[in-house]
Amino acid sequence: MLMAGPNGGRLDRSDEELLQDTVGGDLRAFDVIVRRYRDRLLNFVFRFLGDRTAAEDVVQETFLRVFRKSGEYHASARFSTWLFTIAGNLAKSELRRRKRGRFTSLGWNEEAEQHIEIPDDRPRPDAFAETEIATEAIQKAIESLPPNHRQVVILSDIQGMAYEEIAQIVGCPVGTVKSRINRGRLRLQNKLERLGYLPDSMEAE
């Protein structure tokens, strides 16, 4: 990205080593970091915000901040944890900014959740469109979760992170993370059931 050419040897280096190389002026090392994490970060932020353009901005800002603060990184936490913490905080700030600017998504408060229904345009004839609609509905349902629940559900079920790592990222005890994940999943489940995108758990076996 920054410079063309081989990344000889850099691909095998750990994140922490690459960051040290970046501090030493090796910009290709930072390029490897960007390539290593951009997709995961983009998916995390996109699922959180539901806006691709805003998600790309947040991810760019995350990398920029990491680049700026690369000399301040201490290996007390994993690099990926640090990265996701920065991205998560920026995504939350963006969400607040958008909320102030009336860019609200579907309301996530309890009352609103009871009344807002996403229009169901199904069924569409081809399977691809079907999948697209389902994906969009799931995304909307994720966005309807409170931010704290949304963040941990994405980190857990989409990013596949462990409770302990999520706890470090969101800065909460592991018990709180477990509770938020469970409540987030149940809400999401309830919403998607009502929309017909999940089997109805109330149906008799």
Angle between helices 79-100 and 27-49 in degrees, nearest 10: 50
Answer yes or no whether residue 169 interacts with another protein by CB under 8 A: no
Is 178 a binder of another protein (CB under 8 A)?
Answer: yes
Structure tokens at 180: 């938020």
What is the C-alpha separation between 171 and 158, in angstroms, rounded? 19
Residue 203 binds to another protein (criterion: CB under 8 A): yes
Does position 127 interact with another protein (CB under 8 A)? The reply is no
Q: At what angle do helices 174-195 and 127-143 cross, to 10 degrees?
A: 130
* Complex with another protein: residue 69 or 99, whichever CB lies closer: 69
Decide: 94 and 169 in contact? Cβ < 8 Å.
no
* DSSP classification of residue 144: T
Nearer to another protein, 80 or 139 (CB): 139
Please, which of residues 128-147 interact with another protein by CB under 8 A?
131, 135, 138-139
Q: Does 108 sit near another protein (CB under 8 A)?
A: no
- CA contacts within 13 A on the Cβ side of 125: 0
Chain positions contacting another protein, by CB under 8 A = 1-2, 27, 30, 34, 38-39, 42-43, 46-47, 52, 55-56, 59-60, 63-64, 67-68, 131, 135, 138-139, 153, 156-158, 160, 163, 178, 181-182, 185-186, 188-189, 192-193, 197-205
